[in-house]
Structure formats: C-alpha cells, structure tokens
C-alpha cells in the first residue's frame, strides 16, 4: 500500500503529541495526574447528570445484563462508575463485569470503591486487549473511546473481543446544534476548562476535553466507521439535548 492509499488514522491528539505513541502516552499521563480529583470534577462539571447517563446506558443493555452467563467489559473504565452502573443493573443475576483502563491511578480508585467485590479490574490498553476473540456479550465505554489514539483500531479490537451477536455501547460527549449549542459552547469551551483547571490543577486536561470532542467524528461518520469495523448495525441516541449520546452497535 502506498502512503497515498493508506486510510487516514484518526484519534486523540493532545497538544504537543507528534504521533500515535506520544498521543497515547500523553493521555495516560494526563488521566494519571488528574485521578485524585477526577470523580469530584466529573460530578461538578456535569451537574451530576453523568450519573443519569451511566444509569441510562446500563438500562439500555438490561437484556444482556440479566443473563447469568453474560460477560461484560467496560473499556476505559477510569474510576469505575460505568462499570458500577452495569453491576447495579445486573444485580446478583450472575453477569460478570470487567473494567479495563491503562491509567493505574484511575484503576486504584476503582478498586478502592469496589471494596474488593465485583467488577474485576484489568490494567490494559484498549487497542491491545488481553482477551481472546469472542470473549464478551457486551462492551461499553463511557467518555473513554474519544481518547484512543486510533478510533478504527479501537473499534476493530472491540469487534474482535465481542461474540457474534454481541453489543457495543459507546457513551460520549457531544455538542448540540442550534441556539442551545451556542450557549453550551460557551460553557464547554470557556467555563469548563477554567473550573476544571482550578480544581484539578491541570487546565490543559480540561482544555483537552472540548478540543477532543471537537475532533471526534460526526455521528454519521462514526456510524460508518463502526460498520467498516464489522458491526452489522450502528445507531446513535442523543442524551440530554445532545450534550452526550450513546453509540450502539451489534456484531
Ligand atoms: C474521561 S475518562 C472516563 C472514565 C470513566 N469511563 C467514566 O465514565 O468516568 C477516560 C479514561 O479512558 C482511559 N483511556 C484512554 N485511552 C485508553 C487506552 N488506550 N486504553 C485504556 N484506557 C484508556 C483513561 O486512562 C481514562 O481513565
């Protein structure tokens, strides 16, 4: 394949990163640095709506989580809140929830919050998962997928570890259109980095958030990329006036 024919890699590119490896390293360092304040900031900056989004996503997959033999992976699990919502939805029905992340300090917090009980936590890179093909009935990722250095490679890796008929749920930030979008844009690009920077001590991490949402593919493009990775079906559902949304896919 010539350089010209190569499909363009799209993925996160924090300021100062030169290539995929340095982008991934910058993301890992950034989340490791903000881990101590991550939960507090999440709740403050989303006005606690993040809890509703995790819960709504878990409910979307109730049919899988109710199964006693279900194997479920929450990718880029951070301090674990999406995985905990999946666990609560599953109850004591037997579904096994796993959370994976490559930032050790985030996982340490997840482990502490779970008091040694399920989910199981794994330190792993989402682009090279330590799981066999067709291991999971469901893979989710909340506000994590956008940080991958190569979105197509991430989708292919998720597709690989899903069983045939398995489902994918990617919960991501988005920016609403129209007048609401204008107001939200002011909050998202000005207020959020200022408040986030003040509380976390890392303004660049909270400038990276709107910048990475701005770089993320449109809903139409993302669904096309999901299909190109092998998903038979791909949909997007807006949450809270389109300030977030859920990509759903089926292998
Ligand atoms: C914004 S946090 C989201 C955490 C959690 N899912 C939540 O909803 O609060 C993004 C997480 O993605 C993780 N992450 C980013 N790139 C990753 C990769 N390539 N492999 C594993 N984890 C990754 C980061 O370490 C971070 O913990």
Nearest alpha carbon, ligand 1 atom 10: 144
Alpha-carbon dihedral angle through residues 216, 218, 224, 227, given to the nearest 10 degrees: 50
Q: Answer yes or no: is the C-beta of 101 below 6 A from any ligand 1 atom.
A: yes
CA of 126 to the centre of ligand 1 (A): 9
126 lines ligand 1 (CB under 6 A): yes
Distance 26 CA to ligand 1 centre (A): 12
Backbone angles phi, psi at 94, to 5 degrees: 110, -15
| Residue 152 falls in which region: left (phi positive, over 0), alpha (psi -120 to 50) or beta | alpha
Cβ burial, residue 188 (10 Å; 0-12/13-18/19+)? buried
> Largest alpha-carbon pair distance within the chain?
53
Task: Quickly count: other Cβ atoms within 10 Å of residue 130's Cβ.
Answer: 10
Q: Is 143 in the pocket of ligand 1 (CB under 6 A)?
A: yes
What pLDDT does 5 receive? 53
pLDDT at 9: 82
In angstroms and rounded to an integer, the radius of gyration of the C-alpha atoms of the chain is 17
pLDDT at 6: 54
- Report CA(100)–ligand 1 centroid distance (Å): 8
Cβ of 72 less than 6 Å from ligand 1: no
CA of 147 to the centre of ligand 1 (A): 7
Our answer on whether the CB atom of 76 is closer than 6 Å to any ligand 1 atom is yes
Rounded to the nearest 5 degrees, what angle is found at the Cα of 37, between the Cα atoms of 31 and 41? 95
Average pLDDT by stretches of 10, the chain with 251 residues:
61 91 95 93 88 97 98 98 98 95 98 93 98 98 97 98 98 90 88 88 87 93 97 97 96 98
Residue 108: CB within 6 Å of ligand 1? no
32 lines ligand 1 (CB under 6 A): no
Phi-psi region of 71 (alpha: psi -120 to 50; beta: other; left: phi over 0): beta
The CA distance from 225 to 240, in Å, is 24
In this prediction the pTM is 0.95
Q: Which atom of ligand 1 is nearest to the CA of 35?
A: 27
């Amino acid at each position: 394949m010539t350089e010209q024919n190569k499909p363009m890699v799209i993925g996160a590119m924090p300021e100062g990163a030169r290539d995929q490896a340095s982008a991934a390293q910058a993301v890992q360092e950034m989340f490791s640095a903000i881990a101590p304040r991550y939960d507090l900031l999440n709740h403050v900056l989303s006005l606690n709506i993040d809890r509703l989004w995790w819960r709504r996503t878990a409910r979307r997959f109730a049919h899988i989580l109710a199964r006693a033999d279900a194997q479920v992976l929450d990718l880029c699990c951070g301090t674990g809140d999406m995985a905990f919502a999946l666990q609560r939805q599953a109850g004591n029905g037997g579904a096994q929830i796993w959370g994976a992340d490559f930032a050790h300090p985030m996982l340490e917090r997840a482990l502490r919050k779970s008091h040694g009980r399920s989910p199981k936590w794994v330190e792993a890179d989402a682009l090279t998962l330590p799981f066999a093909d067709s291991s999971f009935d469901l893979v989710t990722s909340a506000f994590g997928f956008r940080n991958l250095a190569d979105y197509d490679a991430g989708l292919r890796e998720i597709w690989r570890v899903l069983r045939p008929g398995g489902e994918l749920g990617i919960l991501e930030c988005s920016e609403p259109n129209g007048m609401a979008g204008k107001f939200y844009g002011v909050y998202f690009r000005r207020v959020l980095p200022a408040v986030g920077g003040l509380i976390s001590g890392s303004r660049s991490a909270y400038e990276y958030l709107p910048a990475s949402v701005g770089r993320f593919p449109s809903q139409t493009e993302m669904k096309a990329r999901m299909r190109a990775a092998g998903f038979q079906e791909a949909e997007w559902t807006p949450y809270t006036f389109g300030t977030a949304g859920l990509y759903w896919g089926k292998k």
